[in-house]
Structure 1
Amino acid sequence: IIQQLGGSPTPSSTWGMWAAEPPQARVQVRPQGQMVVLNGRKAWCSGASVLSHALLTAWDHHDRQQLVAVALDQPGVTVTDQGWQAVGMGATGSVEVLFEGAEAQAIGNPGDYLQRPGFWQGGIGIAACWYGAAQSIAERLRSHCAQHEEPHALAHLGAVDSALHAAAEVLRVSALMIDAAPLDDAELLARRARAVVEHAAEQVMLHVGHALGAGPYCRDRQFARLIADLPVFLRQSHAERDLAALGQQVLTETWML
């Protein structure tokens, strides 16, 4: 992201990207010489306790979003223990970080983070992660069906396979389209891909749970972790709001093979 917007990452550093914008946690940025100064609270800062630096979105006095790079080991940066009580994805440590006069560097111009080449393509990358978790959950059902001749479990496996196959095809086509035109606007492509993969992942969790019952939830540690983590990760999607945005985009589209 830094390279796309004309900067250079600090050597020997570990970075996070914090762009969540809940209304109760908003960081303000103001110029100060060659740097900028940050004040406010940032929510859902994954890995905050183990990172050296972060990219984060903040807001200037014109109410424009500005991406900034900040070193976390300076006075004026407080990593709290607040804001994250989830069991799912608990290892991310996505706590709130408080900025009080912390120095940072502006990266690009206001609005560049959302407008840069790569923003929507990155959203498809997140969907690929959803797919990976769903595939691992589904493998439990395939292993079960290979060892037990159960018609209902096989029906659930068929439903899981069709969902994962559709999601995988969409991700492959999306990757080919991005490789062919990496600077094109990928918003429509990303919204479609994310909707398909989100639905597939939800179907996988539903069918695997119906087929296998409580056993793997209680006795398989990795399965239990995945089945807790994936719903939290999926909620990076905004559900019906994202579908409404997709619907708005396709009002004048034509569906064709």
Structure 2
Amino acid sequence: MSKPAIAPLVLVDRRVDPDVARTIACTGYEAGRAASSPDTVGEALRVASEWGPNLPRPGGGRTAALWSVLATVGSVDLTVARVVEPHVDALAILAEAGLDSAVAPAGATWGVYAAEGPGLRLTAAHMGSRWILDGPKPWCSLANRVTHALVTAWVDDTTRGLFAVDLRASGVRPSAREGEWVSHGLPDVTSGGLELTRVRAVPVGGPGWYLERPGFAWGGVGVAAVWFGAAVALARRVGRHVADRPADQVAQLHIGQLDLALSTARQAVAAAAAVADRTADRTSGRAADAAPGDEAPGLVAARARSIVAESVETVLRVADHAMGPGPLATEAEHAQRVSDLRLYVRQHHAERDVANLGQQVLAAAGSGSPW
């Protein structure tokens, strides 16, 4: 991917200081250089390690700037974004737990592995002063490339804890349980299983803390910000297509559909960023100053993530309809972005996640009307 003629920039909230916008645009340039490297994953890991300590944390007052960085990187290249986002998320989790630099050496690169699979159970046992992990863990993206990971494991029959693990430890090995990674989307971001045998781990928060912590809601919106950025890039490609010929009413319809989808997604992410920054930082004891009428963070985050996912699917459909098969068949960058985004957005569990949102809406409303 060549360096763009203008700075790649996607803002989730356009009310941003120009200097901050220029800094965000610089991350787009860096992402482009990583994407054009012979080893995109390796260069993206280097960039993630370099950026990570300096990026804002969710809920720290500059959440919109953080998510604009992720959106901008997503607009440039989804492989780079798929490497950077979990590393940034892991650093935010460690910071929230008060373990910024206590569990890994400088230059460590991180994954976050919280998926579960049928019949697969990674357990954590407290042995003396140590925690030991044993068992399989599915869906461990880039486990062969990152140095460390935050991993969920069962501490008893009903509760999971979060643990920091050095993936270079002797008891960590690839699992033979899962098939070979054959995806056309994100082909370099391989995701397979791990087998852990008596692997020493560092607890991050107490049992259940990972899901209960204030920052859990915002991690999912960070992923959605990446999706949003990639959708903006697709819409910009449609815009160039339309500009090459007189815009008839059908072309105008397509642009209108894209605008509705992207504007709705941007507003949802910006609103979530504002709520995140009004939510108390419970780890430091700062008093909350949430605005009257603010909804629960989990509800706001679930709504924003679902809105972005639906907007992405709209953009994918409209781009196909607006441009036909030509770009998919003859433009490698466009075809790869479409494949990457189709796979990436499937981290959203579609109707199940929307049903979960509905459950939260009804619970919040109690006996009253949700609207």
Give the TM-score band, short-chain normalised: over 0.9
Query: Which residue of structure 2 aligns with residue 55 of structure 1?
Result: 150
Write the distance in 1 (CA, Å) between the matches of 2:280 and 2:232.
Answer: 27
TM-score by length of 2: 0.66
1:63 to partner: Cα distance: 3.2
Amino acid at match of 2:355: A
Given the alignment of the two structures, is residue 158 of structure 1 paired with residue 251 of structure 2, yes or no?
Answer: no
Pair 1:172 & 2:264 matched: no
Q: Secondary structure at the match of 1:144?
A: helix
Whether the aligned pair in 1 keeps the contact of 2:103 and 2:164 (CA below 8 Å) is no
Choose from 322, 346, 350 the match for 1:235: 346
**Aligned: 1:98 with 2:209:** no
How many corresponding residue pairs?
256
Structure 1 distance, partners of 2:163, 2:118, is 19
Shift of 1:242: 1.2
Flag the structure with higher strand content.
1
Work out which of the residue numbers 93, 97, 104 in structure 2 matches 1:10. Answer: 104
State the distance in 2 between where 1:159 and 1:75 align: 53
The corresponding residue for 1:121 is 218
Q: Distance in 1 between matches of 2:280 and 2:230?
A: 26
Alignment of 1:183-202 (within 5 A): 183=281, 185-202=296-313
Matched letter for residue 158 of structure 2: D
Residue 40 of structure 1 corresponds to: 135
Change (3 A) 1:180 1:205: same
TM-score by length of 1: 0.93
1:218 aligns with 2:315: no
Question: Are positions 1:135 and 2:232 aligned together?
Answer: yes
- Given that 1:58 and 1:67 are in contact with CA atoms closer than 8 Å, whether structure 2 keeps it comes out as yes
Return closer, same or farther for 1:182/1:138 CA change in 2, 3 Å cut-off.
Answer: farther
Amino acid at match of 1:196: I
Aligned counterpart, 2:14: none
Alignment check: 8 A CA contact 1:35 1:106 kept: no
1:208 aligns with 2:319: yes
Does the CA contact (< 8 Å) of 1:3 and 1:9 recur in 2?
no
| Identity score, percent | 38
Unpaired segments ≥5 residues, structure 2: 1-92, 282-287, 289-295
CA shift, 1:255, in A, is 6.0
Instruction: Report the alpha carbon displacement of residue 33 of structure 1 after superposing the two structures with TM.
Output: 2.1
Contact kept in structure 1, 2:103 and 2:202, CA below 8 Å: no
Matched residues in 2 for 1:127 and 1:63: separation?
A: 29
Q: Distance in 2 between matches of 1:64 and 1:73?
A: 26
Does the 8 A contact of 2:136 with 2:175 survive in 1? no
Hey, which of these two has a bigger chunk of helix by percent? 2
* 1:9–1:105 distance in 2 versus 1, CA, 3 Å: closer
Deviation at 1:150, TM superposition (A): 3.9
SS, match of residue 214 in structure 2: coil
1-structure distance, mates of 2:103, 2:227:
28
Give the structure 1 partner of residue 37 of structure 2. none
Work out whether residues 167 and 197 of structure 1, in 8 Å CA contact, stay in contact via their aligned partners in 2: yes
Question: Counterpart amino acid of 1:33?
Answer: G
**Amino acid corresponding to residue 104 of structure 2 in structure 1:** T
Deviations 1:158-194 (A, max 9, x none): 1111110111111112111211225474100011101
Alpha-carbon deviation of 1:137? Answer: 0.9
Q: Decide which moves more: 150-159 or 38-47.
A: 150-159
Give the Cα–Cα distance (whole angstroms) in 2 for the partners of residues 33 and 105 of structure 1. Answer: 13
